[in-house]
Amino acid sequence: MARLKARLVSLLMTLMALVALAPAQTYTPKAGETVLKLVIAERGNIFVTLYTKEAPKTTARLLELVKSGFYAGQRFHKVVRTPRPFIAQVGDPNSIKLAPDDPLLGSTGTGIRIPYEETHHTHDEGAVSLATLGTDKDSGDCQFFFVLGAAHFLDGHYTVFGKVVAGLDVMRALQRGDHVQTATILKG
């Protein structure tokens, strides 16, 4: 009986330690802050503070898409980790129905063009930027990417419209094919 009790106590202590080390799954926005919350299936939550003042056109479009449910069910279609951590991209509406390795992924959007907005934020780990078509920095639409490792060569070419404020561990673990269960907006 004593041995069983000791095992139960040990198990309970282990569970408590795991809970304490678990990634943060919540975030409370500060006053005036607008935050995008993405629930990534089987991974967890990513919270992105949006630069609504510095990138008003980009963030207004993103808010519109989130409110319409546009990102729900979409898959991360582009995750580049070599030669170093680089980006994880989502926002192609075809990612819901096409296989994660389909070469057409990343080529579609909604047909809206959002011009480049200079925010003076850089492409450090956790930055979130609007994807574009090739080198036309005024061709943003609905696809965006998370910066997995500093990528300053992107500065000045893509609108940095937010930064991950919680869930960096979830962002770092993203894989091609992971999907967004829900996308919601939180306001402080």
pLDDT at residue 17 tops 60: no
Q: Give residue 16's pLDDT.
A: 46
Q: 172 phi and psi, to 5 degrees?
A: -65, -25
Is 85 among the domain residues? yes
Is 17 among the domain residues? no
Nearest to 58 by CA among 125, 123, 145: 145
Q: What is the pLDDT of residues 45-84, one digit of tens each?
A: 999 999 999 999 999 999 999 999 999 999 999 999 988 8
Is 147 among the domain residues? yes
Q: Give residue 173's pLDDT.
A: 97
The percent of the chain in helix, strand and coil, each rounded to the nearest 5, is 25, 25, 50
**Average pLDDT of the segment spanning 145-168:** 97
**Which residues lie closer than 8 Å to 118 by C-beta, 6 or more apart?**
156, 159
Is 172 among the domain residues? yes
Q: What angle do CA 168, 161, 173 make, to 5 degrees?
A: 20
The total number of structural domains that make up the chain: 1
Q: What is the pTM of this model?
A: 0.86
Is 96 among the domain residues? yes
pLDDT at residue 14 tops 80: no
> Domain holding 34: CATH number?
2.40.100.10
Q: What is the pLDDT of residues 103-115, one digit of tens each?
A: 888 899 999 999 9
Range of the domain at 117: 27-187
Is 18 among the domain residues? no
Is 62 among the domain residues? yes
